[in-house]
Amino acid sequence: MSDSYVSYLSTELLCQVFEHLNCQQQLTAMETCVRWAQILSSDRYLKHRRLCLSPHNLSPSVVQDLDEMKRFRAYGIEYSLDVPFLWNLRDFLFCEEVALNVEELRLRMSETLTSNDKLHLPALKEKWSVMRSRVTLPKLRTVVMDDPNWVINPIMLQHSEQIRDLTVRYIDKESFVMATGLRPFENLQSLTVVADHSRSFPRLTASDLTRSHALLFQRLKYLKITDGVDAFYFAYKSIFREATNLETLIIHGVDMSENAFNQIDGLKKLKELYLYCRIYQSRLVRHLALPNLQKLTTCQQMAPLSSTPNLKVLHIKDHKRLGGRFMFGEEEKLAGYFKQFNQRLEKLKLERIDLDSTFVKLICSLSRLQSLEMLGVEMEQTAIERVFNSLAELQMAHFERCNLVVSFSYAKEVESKDEDSKNLIGYFEQLRRDFANCYIVDVNCRVIPAGRGRFNMGTVWTDLWGFSVVDRIG
């Protein structure tokens, strides 16, 4: 291998080479070149080395060093014949000194680092030389950083202006502020933040949020916050005040103050709202008027509403029941909910709920309902028939892991699980025949006698991660 081969490698030529590489070749070229990095890091050449690919940029005083460096480079090429040449070439170009001195060199890695215009970190955390280099990712739109130790990295900061979808897991409030507040993220539309549950750190406050944060939240259309350590409790209000262009808001947390909840009323562009947190309520809590809201998910508590004219989908999850009455006046709130949309709601999903006669009556009032889904619901078997008889426009019903409560006299006829299962299958088959216009699905449902369900065991609570905790009474 001639040493002149290396001497005349120009920046323009290298750029053209990488433009014509396919994805696998670029990936291979990016992975290695440890050998060249070792050669060019030799102490003998460290002082006078000029790692510019054009020898004309070197001063005459280092011609001898240049000749020796070229021989070393040629040796590196010969040494690399046992492995793909581009493998070594790529790692050589990612040498820090090369990146600093050859300013026109831009390695196009969009197809290598991304799939579907997405960059996933820490997939690159072991390729630190790649993360420190000046690279161009013209197609990059989505960045996922699920390792809290790498939330601040050069690639994300260099391409902040073109990122549209950002997911970041952080370990403390400083890392959150640094990861989202150092750059303007002028085109960011979707932000997902996750508080790392393995760490404990002070709560974020309004004073921790910079002007860059305010501009960032103003641009967002989608915001999801997963906060199992209550880190955002004091920051919710400031965030909601700025994020007036939100169309989707998902909060999966612990607590939310009434002032923060009241601020949601200002998000008039909201189309989807998901609240899985405990809301401290008093007479000062505001009833939400969201004219564009189409989908609402409420968990553990019923957030008060005043006007939702376009609501089509309602998901009620983990609604607590105690001694036949809903807790803290929830029964009245529930009736108010159904009164808001009983002539418009098209899809209702109930998850981990005990249905009493009042709840069933409200479901029967949804005259326009087309889809009904029940997951982990306990109710009387006769309630299903009432629902089907009342909802003439129902097109699909899905029952999964539901407990159907029957009388003791009926339960005595069931002597084994096999007979119980056969009887239940026959029951749903009969429903399919009686209501042929509705597609009915049942998965792992069972019949239980009255007095053995959750109605008499106590209150079924669920923690933030969805695990059931039974608080037995008496």
CATH of the domain at 298: 3.80.10
Question: Does residue 193 sit in the same domain as residue 130?
Answer: yes
394 pLDDT higher than 60:
yes
Residue closest to 351 by CA, chosen among 375, 319, 379: 375
332 assigned to some structural domain: no
How far is it, in rounded angstroms, from Cα 285 to Cα 308? Answer: 17
**pLDDT tens-place string over residues 193-202:** 988 765 666 7
List, in sequence order, the alpha helices (H) in 32-125: 34-40, 43-46, 63-79, 85-93, 96-101, 110-113
Do the Cβ atoms of 245 and 221 come closer than 8 Å? yes
Per-residue confidence band for 154, with pLDDT thresholds at 50, 70 and 90: low
How far is it, in rounded angstroms, from Cα 436 to Cα 420? Answer: 24
74 assigned to some structural domain: yes
**pLDDT tens-place string over residues 82-116:** 444 444 454 555 555 544 443 333 333 433 444 54
Query: Measured at the alpha carbon of residue 278, what is the angle toward residues 238 and 208, in degrees to the nearest 5?
Result: 25
Cis bond before residue 55 (omega within 30° of 0): no
Provide the pLDDT for residue 298. 87
Question: Does residue 354 sit in the same domain as residue 462?
Answer: yes
316 assigned to some structural domain: no
Question: Does residue 179 sit in the same domain as residue 234?
Answer: yes
462 assigned to some structural domain: yes
Residue 12, domain extent: 4-107
317 assigned to some structural domain: no
Provide the pLDDT for residue 387. 92
Question: Does residue 127 sit in the same domain as residue 100?
Answer: no
How far is it, in rounded angstroms, from Cα 239 to Cα 401? Answer: 38
Question: Does residue 429 sit in the same domain as residue 472?
Answer: yes
351 assigned to some structural domain: yes
% of the chain at pLDDT higher than 90: 22
Residue closest to 231 by CA, chosen among 199, 195, 181: 195
Query: CB-based contacts of 193: which residues, under 8 Å, 6+ apart?
Result: 167, 168, 169, 170, 176, 180, 224, 225, 226, 227
Residue closest to 101 by CA, chosen among 57, 61, 63, 68: 57
Classify 300 in phi/psi space as left (phi over 0), alpha (psi -120 to 50) or beta: left
Question: Does residue 250 sit in the same domain as residue 397?
Answer: no
Q: Is the pTM for the entire model greater than 0.85?
A: no
Per-residue confidence band for 306, with pLDDT thresholds at 50, 70 and 90: confident
Question: Does residue 163 sit in the same domain as residue 247?
Answer: yes
Per-residue confidence band for 295, with pLDDT thresholds at 50, 70 and 90: very high
Instruction: Pick the last residue of a domain from 107, 131, 154.
Output: 107
Question: Does residue 185 sit in the same domain as residue 228?
Answer: yes
Which whole number is the average pLDDT over 423-448? Answer: 84
Adjacent-strand bridge partners of 462: 468
- For the ranges 233-237, 306-310, 428-432, 451-455, the one whose mean pLDDT is highest: 233-237
Which whole number is the average pLDDT over 139-168? Answer: 75
Provide the pLDDT for residue 136. 60
Do the Cβ atoms of 405 and 455 come closer than 8 Å? yes
Residue closest to 217 by CA, chosen among 246, 258, 251: 246
Question: Does residue 165 sit in the same domain as residue 74?
Answer: no
CA–CA distances in Å: residue 32 to residues 15, 80, 128: 18, 10, 12
Question: Does residue 144 sit in the same domain as residue 101?
Answer: no
Which whole number is the average pLDDT over 51-57? Answer: 42
How far is it, in rounded angstroms, from Cα 159 to Cα 448? Answer: 58
**pLDDT tens-place string over residues 242-282:** 999 999 999 998 888 889 999 999 999 999 999 998 887 67
Tokens, residue 287: 């009833």
199 assigned to some structural domain: yes
Which whole number is the average pLDDT over 138-148? Answer: 73
Query: Measured at the alpha carbon of residue 30, what is the angle toward residues 28 and 33, in degrees to the nearest 5?
Result: 95
Instruction: Pick the last residue of a domain from 92, 107, 122.
Output: 107
337 assigned to some structural domain: no
**pLDDT tens-place string over residues 335-387:** 777 877 778 899 999 998 888 888 888 899 898 999 999 999 988 888 888 99
- How many domains are there within the chain? 3
Provide the pLDDT for residue 49. 42
Question: Does residue 101 sit in the same domain as residue 153?
Answer: no
Question: Does residue 76 sit in the same domain as residue 149?
Answer: no
How far is it, in rounded angstroms, from Cα 462 to Cα 469? Answer: 6
Q: What is the mean pLDDT of the chain?
A: 70
Residue type, 420: D
Instruction: Pick the last residue of a domain from 288, 311, 334.
Output: 311
